[in-house]
């Protein structure tokens, strides 16, 4: 993997493992992608991920030290299928696209997946991002299904559930 001690060095950028210090850049890029977060949010999440060997967080760094992209992949263990690697988040800043940075991040995650002896790398890309689908297809990924993604919001921790039959729209008492 293009990891600590084995950085991929190119004339324009390099791919390396993320550090806690990257939190500010990661947050700014995430916000650009449509997942707003603060530096503190990113630092808290990075802190957990960096300690877990089944998580890979890479960044693309320019020669001046500016981080212009990140990729988070994870080794997934599921009951129904063999272990696989999934790309959970991936962005290159709009100003730096089209220079091969995204492709290099993908190569790095593929190398990591091979080292973890998995047979498949998955990614779920939004249907409306047609260029992203093409980007992956050019790199050998194939669409295998489309899904509905559903979510159920839970009351905040500490909220007391309303008794059965209670009326009102709060659904519970906030503690």
Ligand X SMILES: CC(C)(COP(=O)(O)OP(=O)(O)OC[C@H]1O[C@@H](n2cnc3c(N)ncnc32)[C@H](O)[C@@H]1OP(=O)(O)O)[C@@H](O)C(=O)NCCC(=O)NCCS
Cα separation, 15 vs 61, whole angstroms: 6
Residue selected from 83, 97, 116, 133 as contacting ligand X according to rule CB under 6 A: 97
**Residue 109 C-beta: closest distance to ligand X, Å:** 12
**Residue 32 C-beta: closest distance to ligand X, Å:** 8
- Taking only Cα atoms into account, the Rg of the chain, rounded to an integer number of angstroms, comes to 19
**Residue 146 C-beta: closest distance to ligand X, Å:** 14
Per rule CB under 6 A, is residue 43 in the interface with ligand X?
no
The two structure tokens encoding residue 175: 């503690």
The backbone torsions φ and ψ at residue 27, rounded to the nearest 5 degrees and listed phi first, read: -65, -40
What is the DSSP-derived secondary structure letter of residue 153?
Answer: P
- DSSP SS3 for 61: strand
Per rule CB under 6 A, is residue 12 in the interface with ligand X?
no
74 versus 99: smaller Cβ distance to ligand X = 99
Total chain residues near ligand X (CB under 6 A):
17
Cα separation, 58 vs 105, whole angstroms: 7
Q: Exposed, middle or buried: residue 71 (CB in 10 Å: 0-12, 13-18, 19+)?
A: buried
**Residue 16 C-beta: closest distance to ligand X, Å:** 16
Name residues contacting ligand X, limited to 55-94 (CB under 6 A): 90-92
**Residue 154 C-beta: closest distance to ligand X, Å:** 26
Name residues contacting ligand X, limited to 115-154 (CB under 6 A): 123, 125, 129, 132, 135, 138
- DSSP SS3 for 132: helix
Binding site for ligand X (CB under 6 A): 33, 90-92, 97-103, 123, 125, 129, 132, 135, 138
């Amino acid at each position: 993997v293009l990891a600590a001690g084995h950085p991929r060095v190119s004339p324009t950028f390099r791919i390396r493992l993320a550090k806690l210090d990257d939190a500010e850049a990661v947050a700014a890029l995430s916000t650009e992608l449509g997942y707003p977060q603060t530096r503190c949010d990113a630092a808290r999440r990075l802190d957990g991920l960096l300690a877990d060997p089944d998580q890979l967080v890479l960044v693309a760094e320019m020669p001046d030290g500016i981080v212009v992209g990140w990729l988070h992949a994870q080794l997934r263990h599921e009951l129904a299928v063999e272990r696989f690697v999934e790309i959970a988040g991936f962005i290159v800043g709009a100003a730096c696209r089209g220079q091969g940075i995204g492709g290099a991040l993908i190569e790095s995650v593929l190398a990591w997946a091979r080292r973890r002896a998995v047979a498949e790398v998955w990614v779920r890309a939004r249907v409306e991002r047609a260029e992203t689908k093409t980007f992956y297809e050019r790199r050998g990924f194939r669409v295998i299904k489309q899904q509905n993604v559903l979510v159920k919001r839970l009351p905040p921790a500490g909220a007391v559930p309303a008794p059965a039959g209670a009326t009102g729209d709060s659904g519970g008492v906030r503690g």
